């Protein structure tokens, strides 16, 4: 989230889309109720199902799964056509005034640079018009939490701008043109949301484009689980920037994470494409550290831009390499940069399992994770696991993956995989921090000792690593250097204490040995070691900031700066410079983010240089090269388009009504998978979406007796009209079949899912399938698998590679 | 009068409040209050965070047999988990999942020791930690050596395509970071967690 849970009380209007917080994040959702009760906030819920969130909303709009880009495109168009955007904000804080390269084009659903053979865009033309390189050194004192580091921008090109926003090549005019097609009528035909309901939503949320009203968009995996998922989120960002809602208390782009520490583990790069702190993983061809920095660090595109992240890229990288390789990382050997692995292709979830299926990947770890349940296309995933040489489960409890080799219907004789189950401690038995959706890192304390036979995750990993290291010392082998030289300065080498790892993440000054206070102190000369710059300040010489329990809230805005610690720099609302106008006065004096008091920015921890006077005109978005928020995302940020464009899901019941390009042209298709997609709706006429219920979390709660009792069995939710047509009774049995698999469950016949009218009056039925059940626990134990992801297609979003778990085609029948 | 536990339960079942007063001839209310209190009165309060969704609800775990309450015949025992009223986020509340985390922590399905399943076998077998870790370290090293790619043409890539890591998100940031550090040092490129899926 750009904002955080408590901050929701500051909102005037909510769009909750692809999420069901009343059931899935109930204790956070209450802050929306506070906003409704104290400010009269309006709540709009957009979702294929009527849920408990809809029940407490002012408006529920049923939407066809996978059409959210069209919905946001429609809102963007409405806001632009009706002049509802916050004009001063848009001019000051966004790239609306930037002029686009004459080479950039969009034609019938395709942006310039598309290669049909490889399905990949060359995004060079998604660029600004620039002036000649500016040789003058722009400089400033730099940002974030404090004082300090000198930041210089190198030779830079500057984007041309037209602050009147009238230039035909301006980003603003391009947006107008691009989204002119997204009229309320077409949006209604694509999404199935009745036109008058769409207009009602547009009117309510469009009204937040004034300085003293703030709208909040909340989403979860209902948005990300599509081939156009990344672009749906971009749709939110554009809408919120146009309405002046980014950086404002009560505003922002707010993702609800579904697991306790997805946020923290992403920040710390348990993700193939990044290093800790969102630096890109180095790629082939970037031989030297400087090549890597040159390629990946953003360049200033405006003389007003601080370009903080870009300008610190080398300092952060060197500090990371010093943390990992210590004395072995020297200026002479480029700080051991060459030891970092360089992926040649996307190596995300589906690729990993695809490599296993092809027999190329020999071993795999599932740690607190279950490949089989997650899928997509669980049968294909079982093939992947069966083709592994070895497979390790690190988990406190059995999973569908730990038992895949003797699952109902699988003959163990046929599975040659060696399987290890290494039982681990659970959250309650150890310390460490969980980072919530609002970026608050909260420390926990171990409450129970582990029983004799189980071990900490860190123990297992340390033991494996130390044993592998011993083997390399003895036998040699492929590039032992990074293994032999990995730093290991832990008081207990066998089981590194998490308190010491937390300090390693925070970072130290290597000369004084002291813990760092701020990432501004990161050096590129090898004198600082920082595991993750985003977390510098989380554990300082003053102690563990994540364990703070102060409950003071002097502004009443819910910042709680002394409770736990929020990245970066304990800042509670990201981009908060945009909450004030050009003079540094808050857009809404009742709801100030940060305010210029004549010598400093005060309020929240400023996302800005704290003493840079408004008259200096420094750009408000210090992380971007442009110095402003991006309505248009130039080259290589998104791989499937610089602005969101609607495409139909991979499997859909209608043609694309907005262009001649039916499906996302850059979606990632794996070997052999295309044959398992339904071309049209002739055999599989109904749209399926997967979801979660309030009593369960993913797959682990099948082991919790109270929760199994509360929600015991797999079921399928389907509309009354469809059930009637198929002769299926409420409480009877229903079979759901996709081109990839089938499940059978209890029919929940409901008015909560309604037939939608799409295209030229075509009726589309949607069915809902919860994901929680499996053969390794609960009432499903030992029985044939009723896993929702037996049905889902093996295809990924072009930018994020997220599978399309929602919005695929099925058939239903009485079972 | 000797009051056995059985008698007490019988008397309680006969009716609360006034009925209890007449049965025993004295007011049972303080006794009930005492009985309620006993459960956590000698327990240590330990602050944790809910392991389910990412609202980040603070919780208090009540554990007996730790620290000051530890005695010769006690072992640490989790007796209760509830929402932490100090938290600005949840203010003491928990959802159905959070409120039942006791059963996640103390759970008869927890796997009590390492297990191994040989190729083609239909059974798990018990394996010692030493043997499991030795065997796995061997497999990991061999897979790394087998599938290590030092160069793509003339480009140095130092990539281990032999094994991959998929991690969950109920581990802390520190554990996540530690994993990243180790696996990147091993050259692993297939590193994933819960974010995408």
Asked whether the predicted pLDDT for residue A153 surpasses 60, the reply is no
B40 interface with A at CB cutoff 8 Å: no
- The pLDDT value given to residue B39: 72
The interface residues of chain A toward chain B in range 430-459, judged by CB-CB distance below 8 A, are: 430-438, 440-442, 444-449, 451, 453-455, 457-458
Residue A136: pLDDT band with limits 50, 70, 90: very low
Give the rounded percent of residues in chain A with a pLDDT score beyond 70: 97
* Average pLDDT of chain A, as a whole number: 96
Domain range annotation of chain A = 6-98+167-262, 349-481, 668-814
Where do the DSSP E strands lie in A19-176? Answer: 42-46, 59-61, 106-107, 110-111, 114-115, 120-121, 139-141, 150-152
Cis upstream peptide for A568 (omega within 30°): yes
Q: Which of A270, A440, A467 sits opposite B134 (nearest CB)?
A: A467
B188 interface with A at CB cutoff 8 Å: yes
Q: Considering only alpha carbons, which residue of chain A is nearest residue B157? A: A342
Q: Considering only alpha carbons, which residue of chain B is nearest residue A504? A: B174
Residues of A in contact with B184 (CB under 8 A): 275, 324, 340-341, 482
- The pLDDT value given to residue B129: 98
Residue A233's contacts (CB-CB under 8 Å, 6 or more residues apart) are: A219, A223, A224, A253, A255
Asked whether the predicted pLDDT for residue B58 surpasses 80, the reply is yes
Selecting from 3.40.50.620, 3.30.930.10, 3.40.50.1000, 2.20.25.90, what CATH number does the domain B42-110 have?
2.20.25.90
CA distance A475 to A484: 12
Give which of A170, A173, A151, A150 is closest to A161, Cα–Cα: A170
Q: How many Cα atoms within 13 Å fall on the side-chain side of residue B121?
A: 12
Q: Which of A339, A361, A504 sits opposite B163 (nearest CB)?
A: A361
Best of A285, A424, A428, A694 to disrupt the B interface (most B CBs within 10 Å) is: A428
- The pLDDT value given to residue B32: 67
To the nearest whole angstrom, how far is the Cα of B172 from the nearest Cα of chain A? Answer: 5
Q: How far is CA A466 from CA A344, A457, A484, A516, A618, in A?
A: 28, 14, 9, 29, 49
CB A624 within 8 A of CB A307: yes
Task: Please report the number of interchain residue pairs, chain A to chain B, with beta-carbon separation below 8 angstroms.
Answer: 470
Give which of A374, A415, A395 is closest to B117, Cα–Cα: A415
A463 interface with B at CB cutoff 8 Å: yes
Q: Which of B109, B141, B173 sits opposite A268 (nearest CB)?
A: B173
Give which of B46, B170, B51, B107 is closest to A448, Cα–Cα: B46
CATH class of A6-98+167-262: alpha beta
To the nearest whole angstrom, how far is the Cα of B4 from the nearest Cα of chain A? Answer: 31
B125 interface with A at CB cutoff 8 Å: no
Question: What tokens were used for A534?
Answer: 């985003």
Q: How far is CA A722 from CA A395, A718, A734, A813, in A?
A: 41, 7, 12, 10
Global pTM?
0.94
CA distance A592 to A580: 8
Question: What tokens were used for A805?
Answer: 């778990």
CB A107 within 8 A of CB A174: no
Spell A647-674 as b/e; 16+ CB within 10 A means b.
bbbbbbbbebbbbebbbbbbbbbbeebe
- Residue A428 and residue B87: Cβ atoms within 8 Å? no
Give which of A471, A704, A787 is closest to B138, Cα–Cα: A471
Residue A318's contacts (CB-CB under 8 Å, 6 or more residues apart) are: A289, A329, A335, A523, A524, A525, A526, A528
Give which of B94, B13, B106 is closest to B56, Cα–Cα: B94
CA distance A394 to A109: 45
CA distance A785 to B60: 36
CA distance A197 to A188: 9
Give which of B142, B163, B149 is closest to A479, Cα–Cα: B149
- The pLDDT value given to residue B67: 75
Residue A495's contacts (CB-CB under 8 Å, 6 or more residues apart) are: A456, A458, A459, A462
Residues of B in contact with A435 (CB under 8 A): 54, 56, 173
Best of A447, A536, A798 to disrupt the B interface (most B CBs within 10 Å) is: A447
- The pLDDT value given to residue A149: 36
Residue A506: pLDDT band with limits 50, 70, 90: very high
Residue A590: pLDDT band with limits 50, 70, 90: very high
ipTM confidence score: 0.96
Asked whether the predicted pLDDT for residue A137 surpasses 90, the reply is no
The pLDDT of A744-772, averaged and rounded, is 97
- Residue B165 and residue A361: Cβ atoms within 8 Å? no
A486 interface with B at CB cutoff 8 Å: yes
B103-126 pLDDT, tens digit each? 999 999 999 999 999 999 999 999
Q: Considering only alpha carbons, which residue of chain A is nearest residue B148? A: A478
A401-452 pLDDT, tens digit each? 999 999 999 999 999 999 999 999 999 999 999 999 999 999 999 999 998 9
- Residue B114 and residue A269: Cβ atoms within 8 Å? no
Best of B40, B49, B138 to disrupt the A interface (most A CBs within 10 Å) is: B49
- The pLDDT value given to residue A151: 38
CB A494 within 8 A of CB A428: no
CATH class of A668-814: mainly beta
Residues of A in contact with B56 (CB under 8 A): 5, 260, 434-438, 440, 442
- The pLDDT value given to residue B24: 61
CB A157 within 8 A of CB A301: yes
Residue A169: pLDDT band with limits 50, 70, 90: very high
Asked whether the predicted pLDDT for residue A148 surpasses 50, the reply is no
- Residue B162 and residue A551: Cβ atoms within 8 Å? no
The interface residues of chain A toward chain B in range 265-324, judged by CB-CB distance below 8 A, are: 265-272, 275-276, 281, 284-285, 287, 324
The interface residues of chain A toward chain B in range 100-159, judged by CB-CB distance below 8 A, are: none
Q: In the block, which residue shows the tokens 């039942």? A: B100
- Residue A397 and residue B110: Cβ atoms within 8 Å? yes
- The pLDDT value given to residue A141: 39
B10-31 pLDDT, tens digit each? 444 444 444 445 556 677 777 6
Length of chain A: 815
Q: Considering only alpha carbons, which residue of chain B is nearest residue A9? A: B89
Question: What tokens were used for A63?
Answer: 């939407």
Q: How far is CA B103 from CA A92, A432, B38, B81, in A?
A: 53, 21, 21, 10
Count of beta carbons in the 10 Å neighbourhood of residue A169: 16
CA distance A196 to B20: 63
- The pLDDT value given to residue A687: 98
B88 interface with A at CB cutoff 8 Å: yes
- Residue A265 and residue B129: Cβ atoms within 8 Å? no
Residues of A in contact with B147 (CB under 8 A): 360-362
Give which of B44, B68, B180, B100 is closest to A445, Cα–Cα: B44
B62-98 pLDDT, tens digit each? 998 887 767 777 788 999 999 999 999 999 999 999 9
The pLDDT of A75-99, averaged and rounded, is 98
- Residue A440 and residue B122: Cβ atoms within 8 Å? no
A222-237 pLDDT, tens digit each? 999 999 999 999 999 9
- Residue B56 and residue A260: Cβ atoms within 8 Å? yes
- Residue A343 and residue B49: Cβ atoms within 8 Å? no
A367-381 pLDDT, tens digit each? 999 999 999 999 999
Give which of A694, A717, A692, A690 is closest to A706, Cα–Cα: A694
Q: Considering only alpha carbons, which residue of chain A is nearest residue B186? A: A483
Beta-bridge mates of residue B64: B77
The pLDDT of A256-275, averaged and rounded, is 97
Question: What tokens were used for A310?
Answer: 């870009």
Residue A52's contacts (CB-CB under 8 Å, 6 or more residues apart) are: A20, A22, A23, A694
The interface residues of chain A toward chain B in range 493-552, judged by CB-CB distance below 8 A, are: 496, 498, 501-502, 504-505, 531-532, 535, 549, 551
CATH fold for the domain made of A349-481 = Rossmann fold (3.40.50)
Q: What is the DSSP letter of A387?
A: T
CA distance B11 to B23: 7
Best of B65, B173, B192 to disrupt the A interface (most A CBs within 10 Å) is: B173
Q: Which secondary structure element, helix H or strand E, spans residue A70, and what is its range?
A: helix A68-81
Give the rounded percent of residues in chain A with a pLDDT score beyond 90: 96
Within chain B, all domains assigned CATH 2.20.25.90 are found at: 42-110
CA distance A595 to A613: 11
Asked whether the predicted pLDDT for residue B4 surpasses 60, the reply is no
The interface residues of chain A toward chain B in range 708-727, judged by CB-CB distance below 8 A, are: 710
Give which of A531, A479, A469, A473 is closest to A339, Cα–Cα: A479
Give which of B173, B104, B90 is closest to A260, Cα–Cα: B173
């Amino acid at each position: 989230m750009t904002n955080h849970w408590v901050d929701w009380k500051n909102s005037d209007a909510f769009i909750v889309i692809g999420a069901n917080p009343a059931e899935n994040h109930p204790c956070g959702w209450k802050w929306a109720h506070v906003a409704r009760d104290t400010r009269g906030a309006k709540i709009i819920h957009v979702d294929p199902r009527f849920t408990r969130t809809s029940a407490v909303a002012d408006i529920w709009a049923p939407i066809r799964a996978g059409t959210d880009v069209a919905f946001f495109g429609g809102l963007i168009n409405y806001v632009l056509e009706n002049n509802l955007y916050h004009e001063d904000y848009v001019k000051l804080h966004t790239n609306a005034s930037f002029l686009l390269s004459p080479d950039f084009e969009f034609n019938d659903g395709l942006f310039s640079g598309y290669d049909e053979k490889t399905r990949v865009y060359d995004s060079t033309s998604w660029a600004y018009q620039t002036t000649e390189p500016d040789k003058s050194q722009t400089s400033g004192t730099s940002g974030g939490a404090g004082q300090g580091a000198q930041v210089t921008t190198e030779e830079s090109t500057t984007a041309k701008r037209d602050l009147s926003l009238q230039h035909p090549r301006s980003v603003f005019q391009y947006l107008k043109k691009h989204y002119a097609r997204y009229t309320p009528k077409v949006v209604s035909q694509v999404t199935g949301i009745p036109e008058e309901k769409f207009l009602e939503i547009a009117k309510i949320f469009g009204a937040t484009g004034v300085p003293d009203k703030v709208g909040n968009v909340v989403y979860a995996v209902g948005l990300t689980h599509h081939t156009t998922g990344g672009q749906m989120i971009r749709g939110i960002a554009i809408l919120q920037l146009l309405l002046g809602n980014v950086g404002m208390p009560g505003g922002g782009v707010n993702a609800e994470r579904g697991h306790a520490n997805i946020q923290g583990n992403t920040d710390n790069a348990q993700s193939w494409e990044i290093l800790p702190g969102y630096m890109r993983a180095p790629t082939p061809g970037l031989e030297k550290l400087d090549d890597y920095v040159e390629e990946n660090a953003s360049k200033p595109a405006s003389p007003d831009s601080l370009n903080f992240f870009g300008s610190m890229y080398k300092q952060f990288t060197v500090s990371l390499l010093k943390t990992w390789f210590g004395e072995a990382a020297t200026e002479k050997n480029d700080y051991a940069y060459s030891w970092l692995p360089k992926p040649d292709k996307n190596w995300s979830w589906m690729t990993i399992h695809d490599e296993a299926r092809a027999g190329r990947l020999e071993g795999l770890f599932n740690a607190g994770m279950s490949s089989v349940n997650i899928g997509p296309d669980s049968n294909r995933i079982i093939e992947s696991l069966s083709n592994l040489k070895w497979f390790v489960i690190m988990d406190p409890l059995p999973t569908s993956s730990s038992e895949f080799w003797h699952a109902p219907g699988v003959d163990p004789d046929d599975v040659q995989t060696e399987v290890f189950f290494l039982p681990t401690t659970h959250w309650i038995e150890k310390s460490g921090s969980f980072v919530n959706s609002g970026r608050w890192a909260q420390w926990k304390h171990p409450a129970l000792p582990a029983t004799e036979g189980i071990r900490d995750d860190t123990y297992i990993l340390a033991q494996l690593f130390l044993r592998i290291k011993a083997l390399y010392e003895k036998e040699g082998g492929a590039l032992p250097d990074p293994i032999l030289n990995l730093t290991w300065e832990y008081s207990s080498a066998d089981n590194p204490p998490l308190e010491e790892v937390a300090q390693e993440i925070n970072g130290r000054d290597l000369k004084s040995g002291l813990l760092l206070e701020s990432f501004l102190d990161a050096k590129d000369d090898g004198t600082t070691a920082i595991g993750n710059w985003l977390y510098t300040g989380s554990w300082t010489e003053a102690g563990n900031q994540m364990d703070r329990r102060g409950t003071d809230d002097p502004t009443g805005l819910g910042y709680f700066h002394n409770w736990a610690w929020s990245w970066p720099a304990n800042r509670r609302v990201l981009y908060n410079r945009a909450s004030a106008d050009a003079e540094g006065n808050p857009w809404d004096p009742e709801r100030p983010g940060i305010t210029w008091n004549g010598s400093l920015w005060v309020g929240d921890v400023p996302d800005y240089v704290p003493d840079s006077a408004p008259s200096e005109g420094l750009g408000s978005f210090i992380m971007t090269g442009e110095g402003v928020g991006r309505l248009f995302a130039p080259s290589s940020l998104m791989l499937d388009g610089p602005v969101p464009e609607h495409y139909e899901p991979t499997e859909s019941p209608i043609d694309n009504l907005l262009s001649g390009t039916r499906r996302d042209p850059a979606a990632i298709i794996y070997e052999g998978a295309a044959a398992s997609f339904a071309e049209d709706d002739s055999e599989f006429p109904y749209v399926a979406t997967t979801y979660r219920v309030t009593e369960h979390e993913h797959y682990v709660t099948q082991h919790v007796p109270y929760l199994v009792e509360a929600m015991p069995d797999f079921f399928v939710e389907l509309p009354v009209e469809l059930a009637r047509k198929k002769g299926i009774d409420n409480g009877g049995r229903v079979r759901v079949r996709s081109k990839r698999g089938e499940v059978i469950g209890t029919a929940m016949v409901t008015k909560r899912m309604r037939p939608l009218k799409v295209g030229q009056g075509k009726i589309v039925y949607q069915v809902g399938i919860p994901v929680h059940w499996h053969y390794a626990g609960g009432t499903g134990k030992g029985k044939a698998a009723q896993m929702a992801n037996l049905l889902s297609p093996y295809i990924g979003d072009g930018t994020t590679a997220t599978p399309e778990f929602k919005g695929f085609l099925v058939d239903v029948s009485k079972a | 009068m000797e009051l056995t536990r059985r008698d007490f339960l019988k008397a309680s079942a006969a009716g609360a409040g006034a009925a209890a007063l007449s049965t025993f001839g004295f007011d049972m209310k303080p006794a009930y209050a005492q009985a309620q209190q006993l459960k956590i009165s000698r327990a240590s309060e330990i602050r944790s965070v809910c392991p389910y969704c990412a609202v980040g609800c603070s919780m208090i775990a009540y554990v007996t047999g730790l620290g000051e309450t530890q005695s010769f015949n006690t072992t640490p025992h989790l007796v209760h988990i509830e929402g932490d009223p100090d938290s600005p986020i949840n203010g003491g509340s928990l959802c159905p999942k959070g409120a039942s985390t006791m059963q996640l922590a103390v759970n008869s399905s927890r796997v009590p020791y390492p297990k191994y399943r040989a190729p083609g076998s239909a059974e798990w077998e018990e394996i010692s930690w030493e043997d499991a870790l030795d065997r796995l370290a061997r497999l990991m090293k061999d897979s790394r050596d087998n599938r290590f790619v030092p160069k793509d043409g003339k480009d140095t890539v130092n990539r281990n395509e032999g094994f991959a890591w998929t991690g969950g998100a109920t581990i802390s940031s520190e554990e996540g970071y530690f994993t990243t550090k180790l696996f990147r040092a091993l050259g692993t490129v297939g590193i994933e967690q819960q974010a995408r899926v």
